Structure 1
């Protein structure tokens, strides 16, 4: 993504704010109002110090990078903004918007998970390829994507910062949406930490803990090295968690998916193997 940052080599122009539109592929839907106002005050005093990046469209320009600067400039009533115009297709525009978004420090866990998913969906990438592209581990990417399995109400609480990503991943152990929401409310009412939530779930559902422990222990004890190797190969190939279980000469291969889009991605990959 070096071309996005070599802005000193680009021509900077002043564009009318009225000719600019937000990026339709911007993964970030919520902007912190307090921080936006702080940026607006800075712009009012010093101007826009770093130009935004845009690409031309039929009705003007779409923002590729710099939507917060654009919004803050609107807030203080500016008419124009310094910009660099880059020509690119939709796929490139989406990729740059997602990657720039991921570089922000105040991204909440759900926004981060959605960004990974959008990157996979937009460029048909596996979890492994996303991990390599962003310098992260595949298990980290997979763990973040699990948040997208949560009920809408709980995702909203994470979006607002009322629950952490750790709370969300812990709640997934309950499997049942109603139970997840009940325990999420207890987290809010009684200020439970992630550790406390884990303990409460274990207390109420010991059978869940025991079954999970038995399954993991059995898997570790009985799986031959070649099966584990095949699991890793398939996980890398399909970009998701893979479990191979055998009973004699028969068995099954299980591939996990984390959303409807992820399901479609896996189906497309499997069809290509024919």
Structure 2
């Protein structure tokens, strides 16, 4: 990783991410976190003439500027992933067998240097647009989360769920629990939803937000039974082997039972 200190004035805005509202409370919270702990994850840029074009970290860049920072550590990615004159992008991807994280950087570089849209890229790859979008969304995550995805500790879907958590130290705590206790996508979603509810409750009550170190994942995750709706320990639930018609009947019966309560 090539980390150098770069003036923020030399960092051009990304072409593939939407503009962010500086009044977004999420950016304000991120700015407060940077003031307290510093920039925990560098921005990712690529050379663009005498300056640099931002590839990842749009929210972090906005937060840095909002608190008057003039420099930031940046991970500089050189645009040498593909040789357009050699073979096609799709062939490069097949040949390189890239991970989702590597694909994210490769897609960002390709879109940056060709000016294509995500739809254009998806068509070139023979994939749905969501395939490209989901990987580009990874670029706003910190290095610890991306490293955990790269090492197989969490999945792509779990990494995207963790985007809902602003603070990198809280995301790291979730990853630790996933590694310790094991967690599929539904379990991770359950943990994050509970955390968000607790944070919202604390904010409404005027309490301080729960620090990352205080978060403990439930040792038992409870989910609703598809048949009766009863909260049941996740490890006790069993899959149902139903055809689509029977599945719809089960859901309809459950809805009727709920309506009678």
- Give the TM bin, normalised by the shorter chain: 0.3 to 0.5
Q: TM-score, normalization: structure 1?
A: 0.40
Structure whose CA Rg is larger: 1
